Amino acid sequence: MIKLYRSPAICILSVAFATLLAFTSTNLFSQTGSTAYVPVGPPVSVANQYFSFPQSPVPLVPPPAPRNGGVQLLQSLDGIDFLGSHCGCLPPDTNAAVGNDYIVETVNVQIRVFDKNTGLVLLDQDLRTFFGAASGGDPYVVYDDHERRWYVSAFNSTDRGLFLAVSNDSNPLDGFQVYELANLGLPDYQKLGYNQDAIFISYNNFGPGGGAAATIISIDKAAIYFGTLTYYVSVPKFQFRAMPPAQMHGDERGGVEWFVSTDGSEAGGNTIRVTKMTNYLSDTPEFTYTSLPVTEYRSATRADQPGGTITTFPNTTTTQVHYRNGYLVTAMASATAADGFVYPKGLFFRINVRRDTPRLVRQGVIDPGQGVAVQMLSADQDKEGTLGFTWMESSSTEYLSMWIGTRRAAQPSAPGLGFFYVSFRIGDYSTIVLDPSDDLTFWSANEYAGADAQTDIWRTHINSFTAH
């Protein structure tokens, strides 16, 4: 059996609301709802969607070529596609995690386990079977390389809470314990992270009184490994769309969790916010906020494909955060001044958090050229300091493609092959992680359009590569 459904033995739930102090505060903050904040929500049936047909003849487009020599591509395998997800819904919400011997991919509403060395599929299940109950989707998976355990989260059966599955060991085929975190409002756009002593889930609360505010669940690792669910819910300074918790690789001390986000909303800005969370396994967590000046960014308004356009919703939101050796790395898609803030480009940031005050040490842009849209960008950094990326790319001469690369070299890992017909959000997630066996090999998961994108609406792909 892959699952063991277990009701929470202990549930310690704490939410507090008070006035936010300027930089360091033990208090929590809530903001009432606003019609400006649009939920992402669970996956949507394609049957209810508007199909966008080409506005002009669709040309035959040759696959794009690598740029600046490419990268060293290793494994390349197709992930779960629209037909194989058994949900008839979109977007895929592509993400994957990698352990020493396995790859685990989740999409709406399916989970698949691959042999890392051969690419063979070892497990292919819908989320209902995996969790032992119906799930609203939006799954997310991470591999805790310190504890050598897998965590999988998703909406519960009512979309008013979340399931969390924790593997019994480093082999995802050896079973999971499944817990339910109920009565969370509507926990939208949830993201997973961890440090030495806790698992963290962030989400926007679109439930009654939630005000779309970013909300943090802190789960006691030591307790959950012994079958007891102990968790705390807190609301930091208002943040909208995403406040992803860091995956704290190599964290031996615990006591601190980091988050990197935009500075309040997805509309744009000229700062990013770094949040330090301490005392998180209690009802009195402390949040410390640092706003770092960066080059101005704004929510993008346009993305093209041969014969038409593609949605840019949502963008200007960090997709994931990695911590390694005292540095945080994150990325997002957003428009820049270079083209008048029209097309999304790939923005990335590296932040030194070794001392008390976070310091931006690097920022940059993945910009393949005029009129080229970069979406669903994710970043990580290998042990030699090289940044690796994955993103989706399209233009008037390129169908929606998956790309991988570094700042100096890139190549399409899954070239787009046809017109993407559905005018809806581009996705919720993409991922790139380092192989824990060498801390040099990047593994990426993202989306692309196949030749039959009117019926097999979306495809996903998984690649490993090294920089050279």
Instruction: Give domain limits for the chain.
Output: 3-34+42-62+69-466
The phi-psi region of residue 267 (left if phi > 0; otherwise alpha if psi is between -120 and 50; otherwise beta) is alpha
Answer yes or no: CATH 2.130.10.10 is held by domain 3-34+42-62+69-466. Answer: yes
**CA 311, 41, 179: angle at the middle one, nearest 5?**
140
- Give CB contacts under 8 A, 24+ apart, made by 168-174: 170/99, 170/100, 170/101, 171/101, 171/102, 172/2, 172/99, 172/102, 172/104, 172/113, 172/123, 173/2, 173/102, 173/113, 173/122, 173/123
Report pLDDT for 267: 96
Taking only the tens place, the pLDDT of each residue in 103-155 is 999 999 999 999 999 999 999 999 999 999 999 999 999 999 999 999 999 99
Between CA 356 and CA 349 the distance in angstroms is: 18
* Mean pLDDT of all residues in 329-344: 98
* Mean pLDDT of all residues in 235-252: 96
With bands split at pLDDT 50, 70 and 90, how would you rate the model's confidence at 355?
confident
With bands split at pLDDT 50, 70 and 90, how would you rate the model's confidence at 49?
confident
- Greater confidence, 63 or 317? 317
- Greater confidence, 272 or 253? 272
Report pLDDT for 11: 38
**Taking all residues of the chain, what is their mean pLDDT, rounded to a whole number?**
91
Specify the pTM: 0.92
* Mean pLDDT of all residues in 57-84: 90
With bands split at pLDDT 50, 70 and 90, how would you rate the model's confidence at 99?
very high
Taking only the tens place, the pLDDT of each residue in 182-236 is 999 999 999 999 999 999 999 999 999 999 999 999 999 999 999 999 999 999 9
Cα dihedral 130, 136, 138, 139 in deg (nearest 10): -10
Between CA 418 and CA 208 the distance in angstroms is: 41
> Which two three-digit tokens encode residue 350?
């590296």
With bands split at pLDDT 50, 70 and 90, how would you rate the model's confidence at 61?
confident
Report pLDDT for 58: 77
Report pLDDT for 371: 97
The set of residues, in sequence order, having a beta carbon less than 8 Å from that of 28 and lying 6+ positions away, is: 15, 16, 17, 18, 234, 235, 236, 285, 287
